[in-house]
Structure 1
Amino acid sequence: MKDYIVKDEWNIIEEGFDPSLSKISESIFSIGNGRMGQRANFEEKYTGDMLQGSYVAGIYHPDKTRVGWWKNGYPEFSDKVINAANWIGLNIEVNGELLDLNVVKVSEFRRVLNMQEGYLKRSFTAEFDSGALIQVNATRFCSIVDDEVGALRYEIRPLNNNIVVKLGVYIDGDVRNEDANYDERFWKEVAKKDIKSGAVLTLETKRTAFWVTTAMQYEIYIDEQQAELNEQLIEREKFISKESNVKLEKGQSLVIYKYAANLSSENHPKELLESNAIKILESVFKKGFKHLKYEQSEAWANKWKESDILIEGDVAAQQAIRFNIFQLYQTYTGEDARLNIGPKGFTGEKYGGVTYWDTEAYCLPFYLATADQQVARNLLIYRYKHLEKAYENAQALGFSNGAALYPMVTINGTECHNEWEITFEELHRNGAIAYAIFNYVRYTGDNNYLEQYGLEVLIGIARFWSQRVSWSDAKNQYVILGVTGPNEYENNVNNNWYTNTMAVWCMQYTIDTIGLVQQSNANRYSDISIKLNFNLEETGKWNHIIQNMYFPEDKEHGIFLQQDGYMDKEQILVKNLPASERPLNQKWSWDRILRSCFIKQADVLQGIYFFEENYSEDVIRKNYDFYEARTVHESSLSPCVHAILAARLGDEKRAYEFYLRTARLDLDDYNNDTEDGLHITSMAGSWMTVVEGFAGMRVRDGKLHFSPFIPEKWISYAFNIRFRNKIIRFKVTKEEVLVDNNSNEELDIVLKGISIKLAAKGTYKCSLIGKN
């Protein structure tokens, strides 16, 4: 765990330069706008330990799979979002010496990520071997108004002598991915072009043939007067730069304004990429840096009005939740149904920038409650558009008759994960997608989605589960063999309770949805039946499975058993593990982990979280106390589920501890892996912890239910919720709960078990403790 980020309500602040923390900070201070993103690499050259990262949404490369032993069903390629052209680059020499923070003496280093207004700022003083001393101030952002544009301002001021600055302003497409399986470079050059005070570079991805055009334009000022420069064009393969020399007197200010546009062939015809990039660049150049930054501030102010969580009395908690919300909105805006959310977003290469079940299980609730309904709908449409690929994925593993198996890891619907215990066995991802459909419809009341898209997906998933089960003569029940549950520290187990539970639920929900669509839109149901060659007789087998599924349990402990044989393991509690052996995934062999009882993340408890209303408090408590004591929380997705269930059980101490862990996971580098990129999908879990945990929000019978408490350290907390085209403001203090209906229609809610009718534009207030 690290603790070097300064606590502040609206800013992420680093003071002092420590090269050993550089890659962690590159992740933490990342910027993006849903269309493009950038790690917090320095504008100037840096030869120290770093991970160069600039990303364009939707652009990927199928990296050749590299495994020790090929198994039938492995994908041939592993798709990954790739490092794109570096648009921020500046090459700076002072009196012939390169400005490189790995070489010069650095002091007064400060970096600030301003979350309220959406920009990154950095300042430092650099001393060269020659004795020259300069001060640098740099600011940059990815515009959420013009979402194909980035802009930066870079100021150099000599402090003790006159200097000569050799300045190179460049675009570098000769980049690589650190995680390339065969050290391959994924880009080839299409064209480059010299334009006035700028340049254009167009690259093409190998195999996928995406084109990306990066265009830059810049201007230079000395003491606020535009400089006339004698520019020299420098060209190499996949690289173009403009170089010039500038003389500065002591105390003078040299300011570089650089604007860049990143356009892809996903959004523009290839033949128009260059001209469109230049047009967009000309438009933002006319606006100027100051106006672009003002627009950025205004746009972020509007986002915060909808999504902010205000916490009084706990700066660490306040900073953390805003950081999580900020990064979520930098990653995904919901404007393009072709895009989804990678576990690392635009902040690093790990997990390849591809989509996991994290989106459906963790991110969907956040976007349901904080954005327009279409945003969450687009997340589901993304999966619907990949349904044909899900059929193909199932067929590759031997399934037939329209069975659909969604990939564990994907960009375009094709499975691109090649670890057998994940690719072939972590089948519960199918359940998460079905649950997301249920969750969306329950929250929005949008049954039309089921007619248009959802039922087709559900039938494919139900068909998969009906073929994946086996009949056990010994148990006289159905079983599911050879799976990996959410706890990836167990592989190839039989009858994972969570997987069996999801399989049965998926088939039952599909049957229920069939009935609903039959009743609401008989013509559409008929069309689906013909398209899928579906006959109601299929549900006979589904019902038989539902009624005869085996679920492991341990009656002695009163718990659902994570899988067959779990109690055969030596039962050691996490509290008895030496700290020197944590995290297990970095200290133990895989064999030792698999033989242990230790759990990576919520497994049984994930199922209890999803279907909490089906279980008594006693059942939840027994399972929670048993499994949490054995959970090492070495997945970023783990603490939030445990926090929410702890809150449900009235365990305020553990709920708060797990909230801080999930919310500050990256800021404090809890799992020693922030340098690879941020844990974007688990950040949605931080929001869930406050809203579903502390505020106790649930949706039941078409109504919002709340059962709030307030952590001891907090004075108050408040947030907005969008629900069925209405917006409410929910606030909890030490003494009372206040609910404002900010809509023009009345709204029925349930607060602490009491039904309340909120008048349009009305307010309801009650005591936090005791009677209303």
Structure 2
Amino acid sequence: MNQEYIKADNWSIIEEGFDQETVKSSESLFSLGNGAMGQRANFEERYSGPTFQGSYIAGVYYPDKTRVGWWKNGYPEYFAKVLNAPNWIGIDVLVNKESLDLSTCTSVEGFRRELNMKEGWYKRAFRATLPNTIRIQVEITRFLSLELDEIGAISYSVVPLDQDAEIAFIPYLDSGITNEDSNWDDKFWNTTSVDSKDNRAYIQAHTMKTDFKTCTFMGAELNLDGKKVNIDPEVSQKDTWIGHAYTQGVKQGETLTLIKFGGYTVSRNHKADTLVDAADMVLDKAFELGFEALLQSQKKAWAAIWHLSDITIEGDVKAQQGIRFNIFHLNQTYLGTDSRLNIGPKGFTGEKYGGSTYWDTEAYCIPFYMATKNQEVARNLLKYRYDHLEKAIENAQKLGFEKGAALYPMVTMNGEECHNEWEITFEEIHRNGAIAFAIFNYYRFTGDYTYIPEMGLEVLIGISRFWYQRANYSEAKEKYVILGVTGPNEYENNVNNNWYTNYLAKWCIEYTMKQLHKVKDGYPDDYERIIGHTQLTSNETDKWQEVAENMYFPYSEEYGVYLQQDGFLDKELITVAELDKLERPINQKWSWDRILRSPYIKQADVLQGFYFFEDHFTVEELEKHFDFYESFTVHESSLSPCVHSIQAAKLDRMDQAYRFYLRTSRLDLDDYNKEVEEGLHITSMAGTWMSIVEGFGGLRVIDDKLSFTPRIPKEWESYSFKINFRNRVIKVTVSDGETKFKLEGNEQMSIRYKGKRLELNPNEEISA
């Protein structure tokens, strides 16, 4: 099923007409989040059709025991799972004692739902005829507050259309929930108390094993045609459920509205014995403000986010909708205020990948957050890795490495590795290099060197120690080699000398050496502290350098390209263009054995190296490698199209760059992978932003200055974006034949445009 039912719109995601076949997909697409919690767009009222219930709390997880056929040394004992949290959005609706359920209604008309990305709210409206023949008009507005990030708000209105009716709203809390994704069907939550007070209710529960203590709470009030109705609710209570029933006679045409505030207080942020008090405090604030004032605050908060992060596209509504959808969900997932948190590949929209942190953060997400927020946000993402350095050293020790070598996890919630596929856990070690590259990238962009002496250098030393120990000297090649790895292309496992991994290893060591000298000269106190803590010696660094200087890189003289790995040319080199379309996608049509023997590439591998280290290679070298490897790339990873779009744009192949852009920007909206009901691809959304800003906009940092070489797809009339570069905001507007720059603030700034220097004056637009 494709997603053509989503209407094209500049600022909203819109669905019109009720179709049970699309409910689970829409639950993903219309998801809400505020950085602290999130939820799929499940119906508030009862729904007996197919649904994927999901509410999630940032940082709350469960160590689900690894399930494998046989154990291997070094295996993580668990795979961390983001947990489906107790449900606070539920509102049972009864009309003359008949339950509202869109799956059993005799008719549903005028169904429309909208996710307004500009203002950060979700609305659903419909007319329904219940089995007892009563017709009602329903309208619901919901949002998760950015101002009070422990709370969400729901306005639920019902109008009897043909006759007077008795309407009962039963807002409830439910901690008797399960995960869609579970290895052993363990019980993840233990409910400890279910309580009610006036118009408020509370369920206290804690996670098993990890013992995160939570209070799920709600408060409600009733309005009839806008006037408050004072009714003492009838309380119903079970072991893991509590509901408040508000019953009111409503005349034909009158509007009965339930305002419900709900959310979570968590022991990550409060003392465990104060969670109910904390819930009352945030409920007091919400009721004091009221639904409309809190909604106005939501609109202002989103306006501030969009001021810096918006990208406008004129002349292509689907492309415009796509990029805003991606930017919106990135901001819903992570706002950078808590360095204990990170960005899961599904964010708050599903349970696949466990909601954990991958190398996606460093490789794809940090550029977006650096350029659209203040630098503290990206610094917090780097601090997250520094805070987990000791765990990274433990992870390496479990695999036999020593003396402070650090292997960062492929998948983590708390710094421990929790991925349990051996070819990834043990072999996809290139993730270490992405973390080192992010440190380099952060300094290059922000100019903030303080992270390196304060935290980053220790991370770099641990990573370099790992690379030194992971490489071994080949007498046959008279070079250092790295054996038994998986590169970014996961359609090859256990290969020798993956070029990207070897190149990263060499670069990491050389970059670490430069930073050691720089910190020694400029930050002697930090240097002494770090050397004392790590016990690093010149004898050890001399050995590192020998490895870096003598690293082996497989190369084909015949094709004039670096080889993805030693055995790549042993494969039957049939290009994707020659592959029968009925065989696609190969990850669904082929056996794993056949995929591993094929030349097909899941995502950029050698080309990922050319993306990171673009300035190490000529345009001619990029073109040769792009032509060779793109022809074998099946793009069956969400992270694939963005890198290829950026490189196609650099090569001035704009038709190809545009196709890749459209694929990455509408990956979920158009459901390219036929899996959107499982959740959205949050981390690849940052790659969509990169496709425009770095690809079409040609943004680079060269010699400490912003540089632009803009291009524009023929499908667009113009596009614009903003960059926050070292606390100076510059707006770039590109149209066919003209580029405009406007600098906000008070200071002058020089940039490069197509290699030439341009001086920008504050609040003055210039054309180039």
CA distance in 1, matches of 2:759, 2:118: 34
Q: Determine whether 1:47 maps to 2:48.
A: yes
Gaps of 5+ in 1: 767-772
Of stretches 297-306 and 574-583 in structure 1, the one that deviates more from structure 2 is 574-583
Q: Determine whether 1:4 maps to 2:5.
A: yes
Aligned to 2:15: 14
1:554 to 546, 549, 556: 556
**Secondary structure of the residue that 1:537 maps to in structure 2?**
helix
Tell whether the 8 Å contact from 2:66 to 2:79 is kept in structure 1 after alignment: yes
What is the count of residue pairs matched by the alignment? 766
**Secondary structure of the residue that 1:760 maps to in structure 2?**
coil
Q: Which amino acid aligns with 2:704?
A: G
Counterparts of residues 590-629 of structure 1 (less than 5 Å):
590-629=592-631
Tell whether the 8 Å contact from 1:176 to 1:184 is kept in structure 2 after alignment: no
RMSD over aligned CA atoms reads 1.1
Aligned to 1:733: 735
Q: Determine whether 1:145 maps to 2:147.
A: yes
1:130 Cα deviation after fit:
2.0
Aligned to 1:30: 31
1:75 Cα deviation after fit:
0.9
For residues 223-258 of structure 1, the C-alpha deviation after alignment (integer angstroms, 9 at most, x for no partner) is 223234352211112211112332222222111100
Aligned to 2:183: 181
Tell whether the 8 Å contact from 2:125 to 2:137 is kept in structure 1 after alignment: yes
Aligned to 2:649: 647
For residues 509-548 of structure 1, the C-alpha deviation after alignment (integer angstroms, 9 at most, x for no partner) is 0011111101111121111001001112212111111121
Aligned to 1:410: 412
Aligned to 2:666: 664
CA distance in 2, matches of 1:760, 1:231: 59
Gaps of 5+ in 2: none
CA distance in 1, matches of 2:447, 2:61: 35
Q: Which amino acid aligns with 1:635?
A: S
For residues 143-179 of structure 1, the C-alpha deviation after alignment (integer angstroms, 9 at most, x for no partner) is 0111111001011111223322232110111111111
**Secondary structure of the residue that 2:538 maps to in structure 1?**
coil
> Which TM-score applies when normalising by structure 2?
0.98
For residues 240-289 of structure 1, the C-alpha deviation after alignment (integer angstroms, 9 at most, x for no partner) is 11123322222221111000131110000011111111111011011110
1:166 to 1:743, Cα distance in 2 relative to 1, 3 A: closer
Counterparts of residues 416-455 of structure 1 (less than 5 Å):
416-455=418-457
CA distance in 2, matches of 1:587, 1:368: 39
Q: Determine whether 1:244 maps to 2:235.
A: no
Q: Determine whether 1:108 maps to 2:110.
A: yes
Tell whether the 8 Å contact from 2:199 to 2:232 is kept in structure 1 after alignment: no
CA distance in 1, matches of 2:349, 2:461: 36
Q: Which amino acid aligns with 1:112?
A: E
Q: Which amino acid aligns with 2:69?
A: G
Aligned to 2:85: 84
Tell whether the 8 Å contact from 2:169 to 2:258 is kept in structure 1 after alignment: no
Counterparts of residues 528-607 of structure 1 (less than 5 Å):
528-607=530-609
Q: Which amino acid aligns with 1:484?
A: T
Tell whether the 8 Å contact from 2:741 to 2:766 is kept in structure 1 after alignment: yes
1:505 to 480, 504, 507: 507
1:733 Cα deviation after fit:
1.2
Counterparts of residues 381-530 of structure 1 (less than 5 Å):
381-530=383-532
Of stretches 383-392 and 669-678 in structure 1, the one that deviates more from structure 2 is 669-678
CA distance in 2, matches of 1:28, 1:126: 23
1:314 Cα deviation after fit:
0.7
Aligned to 2:200: 198
CA distance in 2, matches of 1:256, 1:296: 20
For residues 376-396 of structure 1, the C-alpha deviation after alignment (integer angstroms, 9 at most, x for no partner) is 000000000000000000000
Of stretches 525-534 and 551-560 in structure 1, the one that deviates more from structure 2 is 551-560
> Which TM-score applies when normalising by structure 1?
0.98
CA distance in 1, matches of 2:137, 2:365: 42
Tell whether the 8 Å contact from 1:13 to 1:111 is kept in structure 2 after alignment: yes
For residues 720-756 of structure 1, the C-alpha deviation after alignment (integer angstroms, 9 at most, x for no partner) is 1111111111111113111111121121211001012
CA distance in 2, matches of 1:454, 1:521: 13
For residues 480-528 of structure 1, the C-alpha deviation after alignment (integer angstroms, 9 at most, x for no partner) is 1110000111111111110001111100100111111011111211110
Q: Which amino acid aligns with 2:568?
A: Y
**Secondary structure of the residue that 1:27 maps to in structure 2?**
helix
Q: Which amino acid aligns with 1:676?
A: E
Q: Which amino acid aligns with 1:175?
A: I
Counterparts of residues 346-385 of structure 1 (less than 5 Å):
346-385=348-387
**Secondary structure of the residue that 1:298 maps to in structure 2?**
helix
CA distance in 1, matches of 2:187, 2:101: 25
Tell whether the 8 Å contact from 2:392 to 2:408 is kept in structure 1 after alignment: yes
Aligned to 1:287: 289
Tell whether the 8 Å contact from 1:35 to 1:148 is kept in structure 2 after alignment: yes
CA distance in 2, matches of 1:111, 1:554: 55
Tell whether the 8 Å contact from 1:175 to 1:185 is kept in structure 2 after alignment: no
Of stretches 434-443 and 79-88 in structure 1, the one that deviates more from structure 2 is 79-88
Tell whether the 8 Å contact from 2:310 to 2:722 is kept in structure 1 after alignment: yes
CA distance in 1, matches of 2:630, 2:165: 61
CA distance in 1, matches of 2:302, 2:420: 39
For residues 624-677 of structure 1, the C-alpha deviation after alignment (integer angstroms, 9 at most, x for no partner) is 111111111111100000000000101000111101100000111011111111
2:210 to 204, 208, 219: 208
CA distance in 1, matches of 2:557, 2:445: 35
Tell whether the 8 Å contact from 1:188 to 1:238 is kept in structure 2 after alignment: no
Q: Percent identity?
A: 55
CA distance in 2, matches of 1:4, 1:632: 26
CA distance in 2, matches of 1:468, 1:567: 25
Aligned to 2:234: 232
CA distance in 1, matches of 2:318, 2:28: 19
